[in-house]
């Protein structure tokens, strides 16, 4: 039996939704592939065709979320008219809004990924790539429109914003204020700060300073390392020479 591309996508997202539910209910460790398959109403074997492991499910869901966020932003009336501050702000708010029904699930993602020693950040690489694409686009547009100056080390900015967003999500997961009002204020006020940083090009200047310090001071240290290694090299030479002889 041939399955169309569309049906495949539908099954995939059905499995992801079921996974998010089961993992949120039972926790990542206790959730079983079998139960997820049953919840998604697919065969026990079928689920492995789509996701070979539980980890792949967890991170597949996060990747899917980034596609949804991008879609929501594209559909937002007048989003292109927003200032860069408003766009960056809206990006985070959209992440929060879409994650809201899956808050427990996101908690599991954090526990599995960031808090346990076995965690591997590699798993989130695709999610991060999708997120960074959105940030890059926002920053590129703002530079093109002349809203912020050209940013040296621009490739650094999206990863930094990813780290910031991760921190916001972690804060949100522990926010017990009514309607997560504390997170709302934190985001509002910190995005303002981030925009100022972008407008003044502080990151580029900091990076220039760092690279200056690195070049002048680290290289000097490296030179002096050379001095320390000389006696050792001499000893080694003597050792080797004695063996030869």
Partner 1 sequence: MAKSVPTGKLARSRLASGAVLKAGGKHLSHIARRPFMSSESCMEEKTLLDQQTAEILFNALSQLRGTALKLAQMLSMDSHYLPEPMRKQLAWSCHQVTPLGRPLIRKLFLQEFNRAPEKIFTEFDTQAFAAASLGQVHRAKSREGEELAVKLQYPGIDITIDSDLQIMRMLVKRTAHADLLLSSLDEISQRLNEEVDYHQEADNTEWFSSALQLAPIRIPEVRRDYSSKRIITTTRLVGEHMDQWLSCNPSQAERNHFAQILYDLFVNSFYGLNALHADPNPGNYLFAEDGTLGLIDFGCVRHFSADFVALMPQLLNAYLEQDASAVLHYYKKLGMVVEGLDAGQQQDFYEALLKPFGDWLTKPFKAGRFNFAKRDSAYMKEGVEIFAKLSQIKKIDTIANEFIYFDRTLFGLYQIFERMEAEVNMEHQWLI
**Residues forming the site for partner 1 (CB under 8 A):** 77, 82-83, 85-86, 89-90, 93, 97, 177-179, 181-182, 184-186, 188-190, 192-193, 196, 200
The residue among 16 and 91 lying less far from partner 1, judged by its C-beta, is 91
The residue among 11 and 90 lying less far from partner 1, judged by its C-beta, is 90
Greatest alpha-carbon pair distance for the chain in Å reads 83
The residue among 178 and 227 lying less far from partner 1, judged by its C-beta, is 178
H or E, element range at 17: helix 5-26
CA 75 distance to own-chain centroid? 23
Which phi and psi (to 5°) does residue 118 adopt?
Answer: -80, -5
| CA dist., res. 204 & res. 184, Å (int) | 28
In the complex, minimum distance from the CB of residue 107 to partner 1, in angstroms, rounded to a whole number: 19
In the complex, minimum distance from the CB of residue 59 to partner 1, in angstroms, rounded to a whole number: 27
| CA dist., res. 203 & res. 198, Å (int) | 7
The residue among 30 and 193 lying less far from partner 1, judged by its C-beta, is 193
Decide: residue 182, CB within 10 A, 0-12 exposed, 13-18 middle, 19+ buried. middle
In the complex, minimum distance from the CB of residue 92 to partner 1, in angstroms, rounded to a whole number: 8
- Would you tell me how many other CB atoms lie within 10 Å of the CB of residue 55? 14
The residue among 13 and 184 lying less far from partner 1, judged by its C-beta, is 184
């Amino acid at each position: 039996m041939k399955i169309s591309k569309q049906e495949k996508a539908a099954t995939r997202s059905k499995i992801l939704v079921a996974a998010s539910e089961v993992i949120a209910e039972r926790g990542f460790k206790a959730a079983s592939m079998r139960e997820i398959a049953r919840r998604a109403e697919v065969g026990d074997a079928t689920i492995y065709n789509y996701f070979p492991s539980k980890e792949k499910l967890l991170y597949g869901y996060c990747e899917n979320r980034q596609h949804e966020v991008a879609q929501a932003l594209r559909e937002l009336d007048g989003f292109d008219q927003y200032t860069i501050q408003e766009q960056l702000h809206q990006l985070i708010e959209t992440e929060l809004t879409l994650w809201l029904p899956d808050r427990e699930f996101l908690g599991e993602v954090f526990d599995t990924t960031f808090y346990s020693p076995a965690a591997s950040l590699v798993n989130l690489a695709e999610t991060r790539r999708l997120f960074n694409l959105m940030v890059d686009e926002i920053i590129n547009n703002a530079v093109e429109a002349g809203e912020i100056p050209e940013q040296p080390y621009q490739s650094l900015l999206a990863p930094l914003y990813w780290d910031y967003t991760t921190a916001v999500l972690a804060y949100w997961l522990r926010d017990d204020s009514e309607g997560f009002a504390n997170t709302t204020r934190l985001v509002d006020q910190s995005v303002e700060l981030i925009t100022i940083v972008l407008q003044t090009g502080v990151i580029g200047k900091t990076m220039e300073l760092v690279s200056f310090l690195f070049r002048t001071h680290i290289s000097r240290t490296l030179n002096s390392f050379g001095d320390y290694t000389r006696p050792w090299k001499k000893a080694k030479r003597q050792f080797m020479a004695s063996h030869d002889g």
